[in-house]
Amino acid sequence: MNTNLFDLLKISGLCAGMLLLCNCTGTVDRVGLPESPAYPVEFSLSKTELMDKIMGGWAGQTIGCTYGGPTEFRFKGSMIQDYTPIEWDDTKMEWYYINSPGLYDDIYMDLTFVEVIENEGVDAPASSHAHAFANAEYTLWHANQSARYNILQGIQPPTSGHWENNPHADDIDFQIEADFAGLMSPGMVNPASEICDRVGHIMNYGDGWYGGVYVAAMYSLAFYTDDLELIVTEALKSIPIESNFYGCINDVIQWYYQYPEDWKRTWFEAEKKWSSDVGCPNGVFKDFNIDAKINAAYIVIGLLYGEGDFGKTVDISTRCGQDSDCNPASSGGILGTVLGYNNIPAYWKQGIEKVEDMDFKYTTISLNDAYEMSQRHAIEMIKSHGGKEEGDDLTILLEEPEPVRFEKAFDGHFPIHRMDFGWGGRKLESDGDLEYSFDFKGTGFVLLGRSQKLHPEKKDIDLLLDVYIDGEHYEQAVLPTSYLKRRNDLTWKYNLADDSHKVRIVWKNPEDGYGITMADILIYGPQLVNYAK
């Protein structure tokens, strides 16, 4: 198959033409692609319809997150088999709200940004979003936590999300938090991308940022059309064609046309080509994969193969595995926007009435609050971007999605080795070793680990770690023992000369009752090492 054909068709403006796909027998099938609208397009929604769709988006996200919750990261690099039951009844959402509210990090993270917009307007600056996000009381992980640490240490957006400052820059974080940007931008993909630029670069860069841009674009288009093939293909225009994220999703779309009845075949093809993570220090060389693009592939697989059926859509996105609560949350939210709240089947809404007035943990915002806030923000966006409000009627200007700027994290960096300290890691302790050195050949490294209190009654303090590279002082890493303020990774450095290097770390302020644990060292080189040769 000519993997560039779809790209060439888009560039030449022939996306509405016929795509030639070679099947496994070597013959050629001709598959029609959805026809792009004749941009610009004006379309209308009543305020009642707008609210129904916004409610469908927030509710669909909540339902999908709840449905996939029990399987999150329990199936890594494998699909969840059809015979594996995933239970659903009217108790599920209420149980998670009360007993495991951290499941809804997708949503209360969204709501942090919604609240900033409520207080400061739709053009609220990145600094306001960053401050609210960094000082919130909820626990964070991966790119979000790395960004929180950066902000609290004075590294502000967009630098806080840049891959040289954030080893998790390609992770899924903004992808699961961008729903609000699409829900407040009905039919306005490019304004949604502008919001994503401000907020998404707080914690992500490159493919990690593109995940949020793409999800927001699909939400935005869900107000305009119920054609899911059109939604996934038009939204992809927001992503630079030269990015790996574009390549991954474009491939999924092509495989869907090639294997329209077999989502599992498309899943296998995506695993073969796109499941190699190079960024996340917790996932490289392991089966854990929180990379944005492969998890976005699972969202799209659910949307395309779900055929507009809500239950089938969230079930497929869940059964793709890995981050299997976040991905059905995204596909469920997008399809919920398409369908509207009133058309989500009663079976899937069962129990939602029990939680709609309950504030999400760490917030003073409920689903009912979110519905109303997003509608206000959407009407403001419509009026400020070429649309009109006339009584109960809204006219929206839909323009062709434009690609955001190209950026690539970990450019020229390939994982070549992982130095494992074994069970329990290697420790620096006040009454033992206070320093450690290691040698490597390559262009970069990440030293994984954590600072910690050895006794719970101890107060949280900042441990200081002096880092020397090739005999020169590189940084004094501040390592808070507070889990909320922690540094995800002890220290790292990219873009070194491809040569032999020595790293020495020294615990500067040892104190009884505290310690530093080193878990692994991830080494990068300038080219991929293919051990299969």
pLDDT (tens digit per residue) in 90-115:
999 999 999 999 999 999 999 999 99
- Average pLDDT in the chain: 93
Give the right CATH number for 414-525 from 2.60.120.260, 3.40.1190.20, 1.10.540.10, 2.40.10.340.
2.60.120.260
Question: How far apart (Å, rounded) are the C-alpha atoms in residues 250 and 6?
Answer: 8
* pLDDT score of 33: 76
In this prediction, residues 323-350 reach a mean pLDDT of: 98
Over residues 122-149, the pLDDT tens digits come to: 999 999 999 999 999 999 999 999 999 9
For 494-523, the DSSP string reads -S--SEEEEEEEEESS--TTEEEEEEEEEE
Confidence check: pLDDT of 7 > 80: no
Tell me the residue ranges of DSSP E strands in 287-434: 388-390, 393-398, 414-420, 426-429
Q: 244-258 vs 292-305: helix axis angle to the nearest 10?
A: 30
Q: How does pLDDT run across 391-424, given as a tens digit for each residue?
A: 999 999 999 999 999 999 999 999 999 999 988 8
Q: Is 95 left (phi over 0), alpha (psi -120 to 50) or beta?
A: alpha
Asked if 515 and 429 touch (Cβ cutoff 8 Å), the reply is yes
Asked if 336 and 360 touch (Cβ cutoff 8 Å), the reply is no
pLDDT over 70 for what percent of the chain? 93
Confidence (pLDDT) at 20: 32
Q: What is the pLDDT of residues 222-268, one digit of tens each?
A: 999 999 999 999 999 999 999 999 999 999 999 999 999 999 999 99
Cα gap 130→363, rounded to integer Å: 16
Alpha-carbon distance 210 to 407, whole Å? 9
The predicted structure's pLDDT at residue 527:
82
- CA 109 – CA 121 distance, rounded (Å): 18
Residue 241: CB atoms within 10 A of its CB come to 16
Kindly report the backbone phi and psi dihedral angles of residue 139, in degrees, each rounded to the nearest multiple of 5, phi listed first: -80, 140
Average pLDDT over residues 179-208: 98
- Per-residue pLDDT, averaged over 381-386, amounts to 97
**Is it the case that residue 6 has pLDDT exceeding 90?**
no
φ/ψ region of 330 (left if φ > 0, alpha if ψ in -120 to 50, else beta) reads alpha
Residue 142's CB is within 10 A of a number of other CB atoms, namely 25
Q: Which of 312, 316, 344 is nearest to 54 (CA)?
A: 344
**pLDDT for residue 424:** 87
What pLDDT band is residue 11 in, cutting at 50, 70 and 90?
Answer: very low
What residue spans in the chain does CATH classification 1.10.4080.10 cover?
Answer: 41-398
Tell me which residue has tokens 């659910």: 302
Calpha distance 501→417 (Å, rounded): 14
Peptide bond just before 40 cis, omega within 30 deg: yes
Q: Each residue of 477-490: b (16+ CB within 10 Å) or e? A: bebbbeebbbbbbb
Q: Are 179 and 219 in contact (CB under 8 A)?
A: yes
Angle at 276 between CA 70 and CA 532, to 5 degrees: 130
Strand partners of residue 492: 446
Query: What's the pLDDT score for residue 90?
Result: 98
Superfamily of domain 41-398: ADP-ribosylation/Crystallin J1 (1.10.4080.10)
pLDDT at 532: 55
Residue that the structure tokens 């938090």 belong to? 177
3-state helix, strand, coil in the chain (%, to 5): 40, 20, 40
pLDDT digits (tens, 9 = 90+) for 452-507: 999 999 999 999 999 999 999 999 999 999 999 999 999 999 999 999 999 999 99
For the chain, residues classed under CATH 2.60.120.260 are 414-525
Mean pLDDT of 498-525: 97
